[in-house]
Amino acid sequence: MKLVKLLCAAAVGCLMSAPVALAQDQILIKFSHVVAPDTPKGKGAEKFKELAEKATAGKVKIEVYPNSQLYKDKEELEALQLGAVQMLAPSLAKFGPLGAKEFEVFDLPYIFPNKEVLRRVTEGPIGKQLFSKLESKGIIGLAYWDNGFKIMSANKPLIKPEDMKGQKMRIQSSKVLDAQMRALSALPQVMAFSEVYQALQTGVVDGTENPPSNMYTQKMHEVQKHATLTDHGYLGYAVIVNKKFWDGLPADIRTALDGAMKEATAYANDIAQNENDVSLAQMKASGKTQFHEQTKEERAAWVKALMPVHKDAESRVGKDLIESIYKEAAAAGFKM
């Protein structure tokens, strides 16, 4: 069924590689994503819609499709390449299947000591260099958007790294995340975001990792008894467009959209932390999941268990790339 949907969309998409003219010569941008509207990404997409439609005086219409309504994780990237949708914001952990495995560097545990270091990476030459890898795939990277740092959840307390042993853990499609779970002796299972709630509910998997905003808006806290505030890794997004579509836009429209994207990016990155804080507070208040705050010693044990993943990932994402991020961390005063 899904395949039929994709093929149909693709057939239309082939006709749509040039900007789509609507009845009143409007240009249509379909922006598909997999999370709830009430999340950092969901709100960022709505903000972009509002700003872009205003900046182009209605010449561009943005249709936002949240919650995997149009496509699931892997399908949405295929749909973008085929031109069936024009804009997405997949998590940085989902670019491996496209052949842009360097993006998985963002998944390395504890690689970003804080948002300042992250920003140095996404807004500096490293962020640009990563985007340049997408062009040969027919994709242009427009911006990096935050979600936040992940917490680890399951149906048992996860205090020591050894508590992860044998736990079936849902992960995104990243090989670095696979290595991360294996370093904890857990059993990683790749699964589309839209399937996670049910998989947790039915016990297909025992646990998962996500920032609080995703956990709360998908109601995962209703089917997870425990979570530890590990902040062990980062989850963020690349806002991307179909290159043929983007290059085919009139220059003045592209400039207006670029401006709207800049503003929407500042907005999304500004609200992300608060969205996660509020979601965490709401989950705590619900009393369904028990949240554990790590002591210094507990955190040190997780860091020790997970840091070897950096070395393992060298052949996948590149030693130079990892080291260039260490340099940014060092410049911000952190030693890795």
What residue ranges bind ligand LMR (CB under 6 A)?
A: 34-35, 41, 91, 147, 172, 193, 210, 214
Question: Comparing C-alpha atoms, which of 301, 276, 280, 297 is closest to residue 289?
Answer: 280
- Minimum CB separation of residue 92 from ligand LMR in Å reads 9
- Minimum CB separation of residue 274 from ligand LMR in Å reads 16
CB closer to ligand LMR, 36 vs 332:
36
- Identify the helix (H) or strand (E) that includes residue 108: none
- Minimum CB separation of residue 333 from ligand LMR in Å reads 29
- Minimum CB separation of residue 46 from ligand LMR in Å reads 15
The arrangement of strands across the sheet holding 226-228 comes to 187-190, 168-171, 207-210, 151-154, 226-228, 290-292
The amino acid that residue 180 corresponds to is: Q
Distance CA 243, CA 293 (A): 44
- Minimum CB separation of residue 181 from ligand LMR in Å reads 13
Q: CA of 115: how far to CAs of 74, 121, 221, 242, 296, in Å?
A: 28, 10, 26, 28, 20
Distance CA 275, CA 211 (A): 10
Distance CA 93, CA 76 (A): 14
CB closer to ligand LMR, 13 vs 212:
212
- Minimum CB separation of residue 6 from ligand LMR in Å reads 19
The residue number with the shortest CB distance to ligand LMR is 91
CB closer to ligand LMR, 56 vs 147:
147
CB closer to ligand LMR, 106 vs 110:
106
CB closer to ligand LMR, 91 vs 180:
91
DSSP letter at 162?
Answer: G
**Residue 21 bridge partners (DSSP):** 27
CB closer to ligand LMR, 16 vs 221:
221
Distance CA 197, CA 216 (A): 11
